[in-house]
Structure 1
Amino acid sequence: MPKPAYLRIADELRRGIRDGSYPPGGRLPTIATLSTAHSVSEIVIRQAIAVLRGEGLVETRRGGGTVVRIRPPVRRVAMDRYRVETQPLTVPATSFTHDQRITWSDYRLDRVYRRVRADADLAALFELPPGTLLLRRRFVFYAKGEPQQISINYLPWDVVAETPVADPAREPWPGGTPAQLAYLGHPPTRVEEAVRARMPTPEESETLRMTGGVPVVTITRRMFSGDRVLEVCRDIIIPADRIVLDYSIDL
């Protein structure tokens, strides 16, 4: 069965984007031009562009036509990233600044703190009774002014109450959460992470300045000190087109 015209046109435009004929930041031909070139109606061209927009390859700007998305720099996240935060620091840094290869002055962190009770899922992750009091911290991480990551993490209130770790004015904290736990006398000894993918919520898309069609990678993290879970991230949220997860396994 022949492929519909809008899909054939989308295939051709996609090839042009991938081979550089339509470079990042450049405009596609106008709808009228494409309509004439392919001898189809403008409705068919709009359908083709909608396919590319849904794939996150282009964005349509009011009065500016259809523009090829500028691909954001990809950060590589390796298994040993937390060692940056558990070793003595000669200059302020965290695993995020290490991943982004930015200096401390290029780093910004928006934060909102509040106390909450553990729901059933959080209680299971912490291995604590439901209703346990926790400190909830919502962070938005910026590199050179651009939002790159959302992180929602939880700490047991009995560990952080009336300490500098519970004070949002102390953020960003060199060494991040591992350094904070070490400061409290509970240095991390193990990290567990579970990685998933999904489409972003409208709030996540707006916060991270994402275009349509791009999923997010979500990482649920548990940080242990000895046998006790002292931090849960539910979740770390990163646009999927900005990250590569590197894993190595010693056999």
Structure 2
Amino acid sequence: MAERPAYQRIADTLREGIRDGLHPPGARLPTLAQLVALHGVSEIVVRQAVALLRGEGLVETRRGGGTVVRAAPPVRRVAMDRYRRFAGAAPEPAPEPATTFTHDQRIAWNEYRLDREFTRVRAEPDLAALFELPVRTELLRRRFVFYSRGRPHQISVNYLPWSLVGGTPVADPAREPWPGGTLAQLGFLGRAVTRVEESVGARMPTPEEAETLRMAAGTPVVTITRRLISEGHVMEVCRDIVIPADRVVLDYAIDL
């Protein structure tokens, strides 16, 4: 078997040191000159090794600060039963406002921020099929960026039938964030959610997503396509919820 290229062997050594704690989060890796001398290779080879680790999201290079080990971001656990708390037209009163996001992040309402952009659109064929409505049905499109303690953690693009929300407070971006989120909004409109469907996928982020969510190079995203259904009628399609894969664990339980 052919010997592995030198840059891969150097990356293996550094990766093992990171995982074993020899290079803890926030620590600087040896300098290029030190790695060149240690391994007896050219600077180009060392740069290739560091680029490999950077592409895996293990390290980041800072201007004037060398290459440092990335700290693992806090992991958010997302469970399917999180929706129960916020479903219905009259949820139980809470000590302070909350949504599924603040509940998952375990943050207070004043630590939550929501950037939003509302537009009216027509349903293209794939979106119309998810709604089970005719093509070109008018919809309200809402794009949200969710922040926890000042850091962006999630992008969500959801759609609601304009015939349902047009002229209501739900179509007013100034009313966001709405305590209880979309489930509470549908309850307010008299369409309490009786079923939630989610399809989970994974892919690499678009450049805009990576920049918005301040993601490290090489990190994929988890995507969740969601439908909120009330008595057999699709009231909302979220396409998609986008979360960096290194910041989330999806928990699903099935009672048999």
* TM class, shorter-length: over 0.9
- What amino acid does structure 1 have at the position aligned with 2:112? Y
1:123 partnered with 2:135: no
CA distance in 1, matches of 2:187, 2:151: 30
Question: How far off its partner does 1:83 sit?
Answer: 1.5
Distance (Å, rounded) in 2 between the aligned partners of 1:223 and 1:34: 54
Gaps of 5+ in 2: none
Alpha-carbon offset, residue 115 of structure 1:
0.2
* 1:34-49 aligned within 5 A: 34-49=35-50
State the SS of the aligned residue for 1:248: coil
Q: How far off is 1:84 after superposition?
A: 2.4
Q: Structure 2 residue aligned with 1:151, among 130, 153, 156?
A: 156
TM-superposed deviation, 1:227: 0.8
Query: How big is the shift at 1:89?
Result: 3.2
Match of 1:246 in 2: 251
Say if 1:84 and 1:98, in contact at 8 Å, map to a contact too: no
CA–CA distance in structure 2, aligned partners of residues 159 and 146 of structure 1: 33
Structure-2 residue corresponding to 1:89: 93
Shift of 1:187: 0.3
SS where residue 213 of structure 1 aligns? Answer: coil
What SS class does the counterpart of residue 202 from structure 2 fall into?
Answer: strand
Residue segments in structure 1 that go unaligned for 5+ positions in a row? none
Name whichever of 112-121 and 17-26 sits farther off: 17-26
* SS at structure 2 position matched to 1:26: coil
Aligned residue in 2 for 1:99: 104
Matched residue, 2:192: 187
Of residues 214, 217, 220 in structure 2, which corresponds to 1:209? Answer: 214
SS in 1 for 2:41: coil
Deviation per CA, 1:77-117: give whole Å up to 9, x if none.
01101122124131210100010000101000000001000
The answer to whether residue 224 in structure 2 is matched with residue 223 in structure 1 is no
Once residues 73 and 26 of structure 2 are traced to their aligned partners in structure 1, the CA distance between those partners, rounded to angstroms, is 11
Q: How many residues align?
A: 251
1:19 and 1:174 map into 2 onto residues whose CA distance is 43
Higher deviation after alignment, 84-93 or 149-158: 84-93
| Alignment partner of 1:109 out of 100, 111, 114 | 114
Letter in 2 for 1:113: F
Task: Give the counterpart letter for 2:236 in structure 1.
Answer: E
Matches of 1:191 and 1:79, distance apart in 2: 9
Aligned-pair RMSD on alpha carbons? 0.7
> Stretches of 4+ moved more than 4 A in 1?
none
Amino acid at match of 1:250: D
C-alpha displacement of 1:137:
0.2
Deviation string, structure 1 residues 150-169 (Cα, Å, up to 9, x no partner) = 00000000000100000000
Query: Take 2:105 and 2:240, find their aligned partners in 1: how far apart are those partners?
Result: 19
Q: Would the aligned equivalents of 1:92 and 1:175 in 2 still touch at CA under 8 Å?
A: yes
Over residues 19-45 of structure 1, what are the superposed CA-to-partner deviations in whole Å (9 max), with x where a residue is unaligned?
A: 111111111010110110111111111
